[in-house]
Amino acid sequence: MPANLPPEYFEAEKRYKQAATLQERIAALENLLATIPKHKGTDKLRADFRRRLSQLRKDAVSRRKSGRSDLYVVQREGAAQIAFVGFPNSGKSSLLACLTNANPVIADYPISTVTPLPGMMPFEDIQLQLVDLPPIGNESTDGWVSGILRYANALLLVVDLTEDPDIQVELLIDQLRSWNIHLVPKTDSGGPVRSGPAGVSKKALIAANKRDLDPNDRSFSALENRYGQEYPCIGVSAKKKEHLEELKRALFDISGVIRVYAKPPGKDPDLSMPFTIPTGSTILDLASFIHKDFMFHLKYARVWGSAKFDGQRVEKSYVLKDRDIVELNA
């Protein structure tokens, strides 16, 4: 056995030996590799584990091709999917536990999250899917983590206010850029964010955690002064459950979706089940979303909410706003 193995290695080794499913073995082995220091005494051990991991991943690919579950894809649920990005011990898992019905592993050791963990966050009359991921900077997981980030609707950057949060944000943005994932400044508003020739663009929000440990908001103020003009910054405390409602609203704002309520002609609108459609959608987009054939038979529409007056008759190109009530007439 190589010398100088840290205590985290033996904990990770125990979890690896106890892993039962293929997904659990892959995740546990990735975590185990991350705990092994790099020096000549560990070369053989690391090589052996890499071979095992390679075989397990081949098995996972075979399962994926046969239609079985895939560790590296989180199926989108709810109105939108928002993925967490952060360094070890920033509090990502604690925030997920506060905001959703998920039960992540929350621990003091650096890498307690080893697999994607989704949870559903209720927001008014819809739900958003939040996904906690292993921390950035882990070579054994960064490959598939970047894939999930590219698929998500938006990103939540979680930083620790007690550990130079502005530097954390700078490093996170640099890492995302290296994966050709570019953050959209909040001044760049409009429709849905799409892929570009040099990668993908994502709306983002900065959640500065551990605000209860930031005397007089000094660290948060410095962070906001540096990045507040580009990205929304919310100071929160997962431990004290402070400012979480503000965070929920901000997460909805970057989700890239709006809620629209249908009103059948001559009847009251159904306010219990909104349609969630991309920001910037038009009347015609909504008609197509409801049924592709409907868009060809649509004669006109009426809008309550963002229109100049309730029930205003609008063009098919009319751009809808959040919480509009729409009556489609075919």
- Look at strands 199-209 and 233-235 and give their pairing: parallel
Pair (208, 123) in one structural domain = yes
In angstroms, the first-to-last Cα distance of the chain is 75
CA dihedral (131, 137, 141, 143) positive or negative? positive
Q: What percent of the chain shows pLDDT beyond 90?
A: 44
Query: Is there a single domain that holds both residue 220 and residue 136?
Result: yes
With respect to residue 73, please indicate whether it lies within any of the assigned structural domains. Answer: no
- What is residue 319's DSSP assignment? B
DSSP three-state, residue 245: helix
Indicate if the pLDDT at residue 12 is higher than 90: no
Domain endpoint, select from 205, 237, 254: 254
Those residues with Cβ within 8 angstroms of residue 2's Cβ, 6 or more apart along the chain or in another chain: 41, 42, 44, 45
91 shares its domain with 240: yes
By mean pLDDT, which of 16-25, 250-259, 265-274, 303-312 is the weakest? 16-25
Task: Determine the pLDDT at residue 137.
Answer: 75
Q: What is residue 204's predicted lDDT score, i.e. its pLDDT?
A: 96
User: Is a pLDDT exceeding 50 seen at residue 197?
Assistant: no
Beta bridge partners of 130: 82, 119
74 found inside a domain: no
Residue 110 has pLDDT above 70, yes or no: no
Residue 3 binned pLDDT confidence (cut-offs 50, 70, 90):
low
Is residue 11 in a domain?
A: yes
Q: Tell me the pairing of strands 275-278 and 312-314.
A: unpaired
Q: Are 302 and 329 in contact (CB under 8 A)?
A: yes
Q: How many CA atoms lie within 13 A of 325 on its CB side?
A: 15
Please report the pLDDT score of residue 21 as a whole number: 63
Same domain, 157 and 197: yes
Could you tell me if 97 and 243 lie in one domain? yes
Indicate whether 319 and 180 sit together in one domain: no
Global pTM reads 0.74
In angstroms, the CA 269 to CA 275 distance is 12
With 0-12 / 13-18 / 19 or more C-beta atoms within 10 angstroms meaning exposed / middle / buried, residue 86 is: buried
Indicate whether 98 and 239 sit together in one domain.
yes
Residues 146 and 230 in one domain: yes
| 227/322 same-domain check | no
Q: What DSSP line would sit under 81-140, residue for residue?
A: EEEEEE-TTSSHHHHHHHHSS------SSS----S-EEEEEEETTEEEEEEE-PPTT-TT
Query: In the chain, how many domains are there?
Result: 3
Q: Do 215 and 184 share a structural domain?
A: yes
The secondary element (H helix, E strand) that includes residue 52 is helix 43-65
* Residue 287: domain span: 258-329
Within-domain flag for 129: yes
Checking if the pLDDT of 196 tops 60, the result is no
For residues 236 and 264, membership in a common domain is answered with no
Same domain, 59 and 101: no
* Domain containing residue 233: CATH number: 3.40.50.300
Residue 127 falls inside a structural domain: yes
